[in-house]
C-alpha cells in the first residue's frame, strides 16, 4: 500500500497546479533554453484549458521554431496571427514574432527546394549492394560537370571566333584584296565563312580569285562549274556545296592553281589531272563525306606547303614523295597507324594527327624526334598511349595538344622543351584522366617550365 499511497500523493500535488502556474513554468523553461520542455509544458496547458489563446500560441511558435520542428511552428504562427487584433499584429511588440515568422518561411522554402531536388534526382537507396555504387555516382557527376564546362568553353571560343571573323571581314572590306580574302578563308578558327565572302566576291577574274558554291537550285551554276577552267587568271579555287557530285577535269587543265580548297561536297573522287598544278602550295579537303579516293601520289606538288585532309570518307594516306617543303599537315582521318613518310618532312612546323583509333591504342614512334622544326603538335581525339623520349629533340615546340587522348604517362623529357608555352590535356571521350602518373608528371613539368600554361578539357 505504501507505493500506491506515494503515487496518489504525487498525483494530487501535480494536479493541484493551475494552468497559469504551468504556463509560468513553461516560460521559465523557454528563458533557460530548454525549448523541448517549454513546448511540452505549453501543450499540457493548452490541453488543460481545452482551448488556446495568443500567449499559448506565441510560446508554442517560438518553442517549436527553436526545436526545429518547423511544420508545427508554422501552424502555431498562423494560428497566432488569426488570434491577435490588427493593431497588435502591426505593433512593435509583435515585431519579434514577425521577424521569426519570416525566417521560418525561408527555412520551409529551403526544405521544400531540397526535397524537390531530391525527388528529381531519385531517392538514394537505403542499402548499397556495392561499396562502389556511391563512388561511381560521384565520378559520373564529376565527368558530366567537366563535359558541361568543356562544352561551355568551346561554345564561348566559337562565339569569340565568330565575332573576331566579323570584325576581320569588316576591316577587309574597307580595302579589299585577293590576299586578304585568301587569308580570311584559310583561317581555321573562322570556320567556313563562304556565305559572308560571297556577298562581295563571286567571280573575280581580274583578281585571280574564285569562290564557287552550289547548294541552291540555281541550274546556271552547274554550267558555270563546267567552265571554271577557262578563267585564265584563277590561281585560288575554293569549291563547296553538298550538291556538287563531281569536279570537271577542265578546272585543272591549265595548271595555274596555287591554292585549292574543296570542302563539304558530295564528290567521290578528284580528277587525276589535279597534279597538273605543279605550283600548288595549299590543298585542303574537308568534310567531303563521300570522297573515297585521294590522288595516289602528291609528290608532283613539290611546292606544297599546307595539306589538310579532314573528315573525308577515304582513310588511306597519299604518297608525299618529294613534298619536302610541307610546313603544315593536318590529318583528321580514321587511320590505323601513322605513315612513316611524315617523319621525312623536316620542314614541318605544324602537325596534327587526329582520330587514329587502333583497338589497343598506340605509342607514338621515336621518329617523331626528327621533326626538329615542329612548333605545334596536335594529337587530339587519338588513342595515343605514350609519347616517345625523342620528343626532347623538338626544341622549337611551342604547343602540344593532347585533348581526348588515352595518354598513360608523360615523358620526363618534356622538361627539356624550354619553348613549350601551352599544353592541353584531357582523357578519352572528354573524361578526366584517372591516372596519378599523369598528374604527378604534370606537376613536375609545370615546376620545371614556369612559363607553361596547362589547360584541361
Same domain, 250 and 335: no
346 and 447, same domain (yes or no) = yes
User: Nearest CA to 348 among 318, 378, 386, 319?
Assistant: 378
CA-CA distances (angstroms) from residue 155 to 279, 422, 428? Answer: 38, 20, 20
Of residues 299 and 122, more confidence is placed in 299
Q: What is the chain's percent helix, strand, coil content, to nearest 5?
A: 50, 15, 35
One domain for residues 190 and 316: yes
Q: What is the CATH number of the domain that holds 424?
A: 3.80.10.10
Distance of CA 220 to the CA centre of its chain: 43
Q: For residues 350-367, give the mean pLDDT.
A: 74
Tell which wins on pLDDT, 101 or 179.
Answer: 101
Per the CB < 8 A criterion, the answer to whether 356 and 377 are in contact is: no
Contact 455/425 with Cβ under 8 angstroms? yes
Same domain, 164 and 184: no
Cell of 181: 580574302
Q: Do 96 and 71 lie in a common domain?
A: yes
- Based on the domain organization, do 90 and 106 belong to the same domain? yes
| Gap between the terminal Cα atoms of the chain | 84
Do 280 and 382 lie in one domain? The reply is no
C-alpha cell at 45: 496547458
Q: Which residues contact 33 (CB under 8 A, 6 or more apart)?
A: none
197 and 225 together in one domain: yes
- 16, pLDDT greater than 60: no
In a domain, 249, yes or no: yes
Q: What average pLDDT does this structure show over 337-341?
A: 78
Last residue of a domain, one of 175, 194, 221: 175
CA dist 332 and 263 (Å) reads: 14
Beta carbons of 250 and 273 less than 8 angstroms apart: no
Q: What are phi and psi of 236, to 5 degrees?
A: -120, 120
161 and 187 part of one domain:
no
Beta-strand relationship, 209-213 and 203-204: antiparallel
For residues 238 and 280, membership in a common domain is answered with yes
pLDDT reading at 123 higher than 80 = no
Q: Residue 349: CB partners within 8 Å, gap ≥ 6?
A: 327, 328, 373, 374, 375, 376, 396
Looking at the structure, tell me whether residues 212 and 331 fall in a common domain: no
Place of cell 595549299: 282
Span 171-196, mean pLDDT?
62
Which band of pLDDT confidence, cut at 50, 70 and 90, is reported for residue 129?
very low
Taking the C-alpha atoms of residue 219 and residue 238, their distance in angstroms, rounded to an integer, is: 19
Residue 376 has pLDDT above 90, yes or no: yes
Task: Provide the pLDDT for residue 416.
Answer: 92
What is the domain count for the chain? 4
Are residues 371 and 424 located together in one domain of the fold?
A: yes
Q: What is the pLDDT of residues 141-179, one digit of tens each?
A: 766 776 676 667 667 766 777 777 777 777 776 776 666
Q: Which domain range does residue 198 map to? A: 176-321
Residue with the three cell numbers 566579323: 166
In this predicted model, what pLDDT tens digit does every residue of 418-448 receive, in sequence order? 999 999 887 655 455 567 788 888 889 988 9
Amino acid at each position: 500500500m505504501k507505493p500506491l499511497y506515494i503515487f496518489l500523493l504525487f498525483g494530487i500535488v501535480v494536479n493541484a497546479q493551475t494552468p497559469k502556474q504551468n504556463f509560468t513554468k513553461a516560460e521559465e523553461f523557454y528563458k533557460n533554453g530548454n525549448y523541448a520542455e517549454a513546448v511540452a509544458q505549453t501543450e499540457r496547458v493548452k490541453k488543460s484549458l481545452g482551448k488556446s489563446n495568443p500567449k499559448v500560441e506565441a510560446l508554442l511558435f517560438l518553442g517549436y521554431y527553436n526545436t526545429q520542428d518547423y511544420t508545427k511552428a508554422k501552424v502555431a504562427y498562423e494560428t497566432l496571427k488569426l488570434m491577435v487584433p490588427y493593431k497588435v499584429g502591426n505593433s512593435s511588440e509583435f515585431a519579434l514574432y514577425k521577424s521569426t515568422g519570416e525566417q521560418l518561411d525561408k527555412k520551409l522554402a529551403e526544405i521544400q527546394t531540397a526535397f524537390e531536388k531530391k525527388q528529381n534526382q531519385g531517392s538514394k537507396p537505403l542499402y548499397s549492394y556495392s561499396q562502389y555504387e556511391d563512388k561511381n555516382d560521384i565520378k559520373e557527376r564529376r565527368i558530366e560537370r567537366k563535359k558541361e564546362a568543356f562544352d561551355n568553353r568551346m561554345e564561348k571560343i566559337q562565339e569569340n571566333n565568330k565575332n573576331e571573323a566579323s570584325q576581320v571581314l569588316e576591316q577587309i572590306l574597307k580595302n579589299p584584296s585577293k590576299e586578304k580574302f585568301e587569308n580570311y578563308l584559310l583561317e581555321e578558327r573562322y570556320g567556313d565563312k563562304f556565305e559572308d565572302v560571297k556577298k562581295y566576291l563571286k567571280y573575280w577574274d581580274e583578281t585571280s580569285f574564285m569562290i564557287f558554291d552550289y547548294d541552291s537550285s540555281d541550274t546556271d551554276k552547274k554550267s558555270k562549274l563546267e567552265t571554271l577552267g577557262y578563267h585564265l587568271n584563277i590561281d585560288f579555287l575554293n569549291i563547296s556545296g553538298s550538291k556538287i557530285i563531281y569536279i570537271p577535269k577542265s578546272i585543272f587543265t591549265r595548271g595555274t592553281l596555287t591554292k585549292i580548297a574543296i570542302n563539304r561536297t558530295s564528290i567521290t573522287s578528284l580528277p587525276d589531272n589535279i597534279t597538273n598544278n605543279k605550283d600548288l602550295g595549299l590543298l585542303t579537303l574537308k568534310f567531303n563525306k563521300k570522297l573515297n579516293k585521294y590522288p595516289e601520289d602528291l609528290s608532283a606538288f613539290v611546292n606544297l606547303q599546307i595539306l589538310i585532309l579532314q573528315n573525308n570518307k577515304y582513310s588511306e594516306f597519299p604518297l608525299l614523295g618529294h613534298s619536302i617543303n610541307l610546313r603544315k599537315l593536318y590529318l583528321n582521318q580514321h587511320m590505323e597507324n601513322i605513315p612513316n613518310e611524315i617523319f621525312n618532312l623536316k620542314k614541318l612546323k605544324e602537325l596534327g594527327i587526329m582520330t587514329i583509333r587502333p583497338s589497343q591504342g598506340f605509342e607514338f614512334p621515336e621518329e617523331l624526334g626528327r621533326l626538329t622544326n615542329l612548333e605545334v603538335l596536335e594529337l587530339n581525339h587519338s588513342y595515343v598511349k605514350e609519347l616517345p623520349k625523342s620528343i626532347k629533340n623538338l626544341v622549337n615546340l611551342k604547343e602540344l595538344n593532347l585533348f581526348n587522348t588515352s595518354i598513360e604517362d608523360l615523358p620526363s623529357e618534356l622538361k627539356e622543351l624550354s619553348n613549350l608555352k601551352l599544353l592541353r590535356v584531357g582523357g578519352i571521350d572528354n573524361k578526366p584522366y584517372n591516372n596519378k602518373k599523369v598528374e604527378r608528371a604534370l606537376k613536375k613539368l609545370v615546376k620545371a617550365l614556369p612559363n607553361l600554361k596547362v589547360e584541361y578539357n
